[in-house]
A and B are shown apart, each in its own frame.
Chain A
C-alpha cells in the first residue's frame, strides 16, 4: 500500500533517527510505500488549541488537503501530529460547517473529504501484518518494555486499547524479543509540559523508567519523539531523581524492527541515542553463536490480544 507520509517537525531534528529508520524499514518491507507530502506544515502540537480554536483544524486541513490531492491516506509517525491530524480528520468529516470555516482560511488548497490518518505502528501491525515482517536476526535476549505513551491509543487515536494496548508487544514478540508486562505502557511522560514545568514532567518520566526497570526490561521501545527525548536525553536526571540506575536504551520501535530485519545499521541512527544501546546489543543479538545459553529463561507467556477470551 502507498501512504502520504507526514514526517512532522521533530523528524528532521530531535528524532531524525525515527524518520531514517522508519523509511528504511518501509523500503525493505515493500508493502508500505511512503510518499512524502510535499510542502507540509507543522500540526501545531498542543499549543495550537490554546491560541485559536480553529487553528489546529486549519493547520491540519492544509496537510490533509495536499494528501487528498495525492489520493492517499496519511501516515504520521509523531504521536502529537498523529493525534492532532486524526482528530481534525474526524471532526472535519463530521462537521460540514467546521469544514467550510476551515476551508475559508486555506489558500491554494481545498479540502473536500479528509483522508484517514494512521500511525506507522498501526500500519505495520494491521496493514503489513506481523507475519510479513521478514526477521533475519531475532532480537533474542531483549526484554522490551513497550511504551506507547499517552497519545497514540487515546480516544483521538484509537487503533488499540487505551488502557492495555497490545500491538507493540505483539510486534516485539514477532521480532523475537520478549515483551515484558508492565503497568505504565500508556502513562504520560509529561512531554507537553516539560518546557514549562520541567520538574513535574521529570517526575512523571522517572516513574515510567522505574516501572520498566522493575518489570525486568533491558530496553524501552517507543513510538513518539517526545517520549524518546525525555526518557533518553534526560535519563541521567531521571536517575538522579529516583536515586536509581536505569541504563535503559530507549529505541524507536522502527529501530528495533530494522535490527531484527538485518538492515544496514547506518540506516537506523543508533549512534544518536544518548543512552547507548551498543553494549546491550553486543551481549544479546550480536553475541556469536546460534543459540542463547541453554539455561536461559523459559519462553515468555503469550500475551493476550485485547478482548480475547481466557483459554
Chain B
C-alpha cells in the first residue's frame, strides 16, 4: 500500500505541493469524517472527507475559506484511522497556513492563535488572563458578561495567575522570534 510521506515541516511555498501529494492518495472512504468529533458536534461546514475531495477537484477558494480548517481541533483521530495513511491533521494545519499566506480573511481561530503567540513572544510563557481579555476584546466584547461566573469560580479556586511569569530567558525568546522573522524575510527575497 502506498504510504503517505511523513510531513515534518512546511514552507508556505511548498505547502500546496505537499498537501496535494498527500491528498492524491485519498479514496473517499469517509473514515476520517466518521472519526471526527468536531464534525459530529456540528462544528464544520465541510467534513474532512469533503475537504479532501475538494482539494482533489482543485476548489482552492472554497477550501481555504472554509470554517472546517479553523475548527479542526488537531486531535489526530482521523490520522490514526485513515486507511491510506494520510496525515489529515497535518493537512488541516497546512491549509490554515496557506489560507493566511494567501490573504484569506482570518477567522476567529487566528485571532486566538496570534494573541496566544504574541503573549509567548513577550513573556516567554502563557498568561491566560491577558489572552482571554485580548481575544474577547478583538472578537466580541459582549462575551465578557458570560465570562463572569466562570472567572469568579476560577478566582475562588485560585486557578488564575494574577501576574505573568517572568522567566529570565525572555530576551532570548524575543530574539528567537526576531530571527524567525528575519529568516522568513530572507526566504521571500529568494535566498
Show the binding face of A for B, using Cβ within 8 Å: 9-10, 12-14, 16, 39-42, 44-55, 57-59, 62, 91, 94-95, 98, 101, 104-109, 150-151, 154-156, 162-163, 186-188, 190-193, 195-197, 200-201, 203-204, 207, 233-234, 272-274
Contacts and interface: CB of A to CB of B under 8 A. Distances in A.
Interface in B133-186: 135, 150, 153-154, 157-161, 165, 167-169, 172-173, 175-176, 179-180, 183-184
Given A203-B42, A273-B157, 15 more contacts: A39-B167, A41-B167, A47-B112, A49-B97, A50-B96, A52-B180, A53-B10, A53-B12, A54-B9, A59-B176, A62-B172, A107-B179, A108-B169, A195-B132, A274-B153
Contacts of B97: 49-50, 53
List of 9 A-B pairs having minimum Cβ-Cβ separation, nearest first: A188-B75, A200-B43, A47-B113, A9-B126, A150-B75, A154-B76, A203-B41, A91-B8, A47-B116
A5 to B, nearest CB: 15
Given A41-B167, A155-B79, A274 B157 contact: yes
Contacts of B38: 188, 190, 193, 200, 204
B125 A42 contact: yes
Given A47-B116, A52-B180, A57-B9, A193 B169 contact: no
Contacts, number: 182
A19 B151 CA distance: 21
8 contacts: A14-B128, A39-B168, A41-B124, A59-B120, A98-B9, A155-B76, A195-B131, A234-B150
A69 B153 CA distance: 41
B76 A150 contact: yes
Interface of B: 8-12, 37-38, 40-43, 70-71, 73-77, 79-81, 93, 96-97, 100, 107-114, 116-117, 120, 124-126, 128, 131-132, 135, 150, 153-154, 157-161, 165, 167-169, 172-173, 175-176, 179-180, 183-184
B170 to A, nearest CB: 9
B73 A190 contact: yes
Contact of B71 (A39, A48, A193): A193
Nearest to B10: A53
B76 A197 contact: no
B117 A55 contact: yes
